[in-house]
Amino acid sequence: MSNNQFKKGELYSFITGKASTAMARRLQKNFKQHGIEITIEQWSVLYHLWKQDGLSQQELCSATFRDKPSITRLVDNLEKLKLVKRVASKEDRRMNLINLTEAAKKLQDQTMDMANQTLNEALGGVTAEEIEICKSVLQRVYDNLK
């Protein structure tokens, strides 16, 4: 049992570990080299708006697994960059609906290509089956803890 726990302890370093940040940093670098001056955190917000424009900040919280203050500032910074605009909802005046600008729409294809390319690099030598298992493990870890 203590042996088993030690093995799990090793996994801990991988999960908190740096595969994800290595990927984030690589993607960020690709953006920068192509003159795209957004952070991957900002990109992850745009990612969900590209799938569906006009989400509320609360919906962005759920979609990106962030808390409210985090989304407030990410939207602040995206607004400064003129990539989104807050629009007060008419049905519920507490809500801000976040709308993409034309500039943000233009970023979609370009950055999605870079993201896919980064993923191809990252997943070199990994089979589709292993990917599925890894996805499902990470999903269960998340579900177990949330």
Partner DNA sequence: GACATATAGTTAGTTATGCAACCAATTCAA
Partner DNA sequence: TTGAATTGGTTGCATAACTAACTATATGTC
How do 55-56 and 96-100 pair as beta strands? antiparallel
d(CA 75, CA 80): 8
Question: Does 51 engage in binding with its own copies (CB under 8 A)?
Answer: no
Among 80, 92, 94, 125, which residue interacts with its own copies (rule: CB under 8 A)?
125
3-state SS of 49-110 is: HHHCCCEEHHHHHHHHCCCHHHHHHHHHHHHHCCCEEEEECCCCCCCEEEEECHHHHHHHHH
d(CA 58, CA 27): 26
Least Å distance, CB 49 to DNA, is 13
Least Å distance, CB 38 to its own copies, is 14
Q: Quick one: which segment of 7-15, 54-62, 84-92, 95-103 binds its own copies (CB under 8 A)?
A: 7-15
The token duo for 109 is 């294809």
What residues make contact with DNA under the rule CB under 7 A?
A: 21, 25, 28-29, 39, 41-42, 56-58, 61, 66-77, 86, 92-96
Among its own copies, DNA, none, what binds residue 110 when CB lies within 5 to 8 Å by partner kind? none
Question: Does 22 engage in binding with its own copies (CB under 8 A)?
Answer: yes
d(CA 14, CA 12): 5
Do the beta carbons of residue 48 and residue 55 sit within 8 Å? yes
Per-residue x/- marks for its own copies, 69-88, CB under 8 A? --------------------
Question: Which stretches of the chain bind its own copies, using CB under 8 A?
Answer: 4-5, 7-26, 40, 44, 47, 65, 112, 115-116, 119-126, 128, 130-131, 133-142, 144-146
